[in-house]
Structure 1
Amino acid sequence: MFQMIVTGLLCGALLGFVMQRGRFCLTGGFRDMYLTKDNRMFYALLIAIAVQSIGVYVLISLGVFEFTAGTLPILAVIIGSFIFGIGIIFAGGCATGTWYRAGEGLIGSWIALAGYMLVAAMMKSGVLLPLDKAVKNVELRSNSIAGSFGLNPWVVISVFTVIVGFLVYRTLRKPTVKIPGLPPKRTGLAHLLFEKRWHPFFTAILIGLIAISAWPLSAATGRIAGLGITTPSANILQYFVTGEMSFINWGVFLVLGILFGSLFAAKMSGEFRFRLPDLKTTINSFSGGLMMGFGAGLAGGCSIGNGLVMTAMMTWQGWIALAFMILGTWTASYFVYVRPRRKNKQATHAVPA
């Protein structure tokens, strides 16, 4: 238990710290791909996937742990990921983003977390469990991309890494506009850690390394999995309701560590403050959290579990989930941002009769 607590909290705290300081927000990244044609955060996610994939498959090759892709609950992944993508727009952050933004003092994120944890628990062991099982019964036999084509996983990883390298090279060659800011208040390491804006690609490398470490640290406690947010979040609520210690595992301390790591980063950088949402934001946050919990529970993972981890394991589940998450995000962005702007623009230019 002691090892579980220490390593889980440490890994989570590092992840929360890095994500808060690097402003690693996949919700904003997916949204910006559609609204402003800015792909940098998406490319950053691809970097984290590539780094993790290489590291984890090295560990598998060394016999540190074993991984089986299993079957593909295709219908659940598609429907769940699409709903999750819609939910993160209303909630103002994905599952991990909501945890780290809660550490910054955003009350709206706490409200989103409440909805997220509630429905995720209902999907895992509550009244929604029969629906979850029924939809997941529609499955395909093969979930491994390499296995589907009879290839060695390293072939798929190598091709993917080359593609990511090309995208990064092309992006870094583009000229960047430097935005003048206030003179730094700190110097040296303190300036770099708590004041200077982190590049998303550098942040992604760190997240990929943390994601690699999660596998052996988690496996050492009997949990053969990497980073995960949805099930541990549901487990916290289930433990409070039932008192069953079986719900407490390495993943629970991981998500708690994200909160503590983000809180420390926000405090040290002067970005922590309690922010109360208005009524509309409160309703959106809670409803978004409900959709996140339902979607992630049905899809078997969130933007981290599917979008970062299962993609790195080169499974169909991960990449299909990622595609439909983005599609859901774009759909919600159209109705939340694009359509209202068009209506306002038309109203402004309307000529009175």
Structure 2
Amino acid sequence: MFSLDALFNVSAIRKSRLTWIDFAKGAAIIMVVFRHIVIGIERSEIPIHEAYRTIADITYSFRMPLFFILSGFFLRSSLLKRTPGEFVQSKLRTLLYPYLIWTFIQITVQIVFSNYINADRTWRDYIAVFINPRSIDQFWFIYALFNLALVYLALFHVTKGNKVALFVIGIVFYYINRFIDVHVIDDILENFIYIVIGDLTSSFVLNKENRSTILSYAWLLVFTALFIATQYLYLNFEDLEPFVYAVIALVGSVLTIILSFHLANVDWLLFVRVAGFHSLYIYLMHVLVSAPIRIVLFKVFHVTNGGLIAIISTTLGCLVPMIFYNLCRRYNMTLLFYPPAKGGLKEEG
């Protein structure tokens, strides 16, 4: 019989220095899983209340920028404590390696079971992993984060780490992105600004002396009001200016971070915190987990309530990857997630 610690690595989570980061990542990954499941339900033509799609659309407006901002908080410190070669090697281990392993696994499974799922895969998708990652379901983010880390490394040395210069470059990238339609490059141009915003604000957000300011209910009320206003724009108007979408994403991200500080302050919703600690592994596996769950619920158990399927699939789509990863840790099967380090396997993160 396995303990909760063995299945969810609770002891390591309890020792986490920045609890709010786990909550923020947890909120973001749950939003990712939920939206992908709602889309899968709709493609399967299972009836689902419009409210679920609205929630999925709201979270879509800021969840990925939030992930990039959270990554940006720690990118500078990661770079400063490593040589450029060590920094690149770290990103190869923690991002590119699991990206290649799990895109191969998911594409292969989708080809083998093509008669039973929504995805339409061919051998060409193995090539798309490098040239068109957006076509490989959820995986584009990990490849984009890897490429953004390399671009940040290069520009960090060009600008000598000047945050203002990096911010200006981020704005220029974001602006010219509207004129460029090239896979992979698009993701860099569109999202570099969020990495830089994370870097630019990290000294404030990570400073313990500013904790009381972030926990101020005045800021919570202000950003809740801004969130409602920006989401009204997002849901009711099409073809907004790209910079308006950026503002919408930033407001949603800031509100989520503020709420994460409040959750960390009272340490409620442990499930969200645990999910955040395991966010990478959930991201890698949730499509492979949630699609079979949806199919079994609908075709075997004849569950026709799309909302119920969404709730069950989202919960299990987070739980199963966490359990699988920790069982892999327990039985030294971590090659599925990162390569062996010198002297043996080493857990990342």
Say yes or no: TM over 0.5: no
Tell me which of the two structures has the higher relative contact order, counting C-alpha pairs closer than 8 angstroms and 6 or more residues apart.
Answer: 1
Q: TM-score, normalised by structure 1?
A: 0.28
Q: TM-score, normalised by structure 2?
A: 0.29
If each structure's helix is expressed as a fraction of its own residues, which one has the higher value? 2
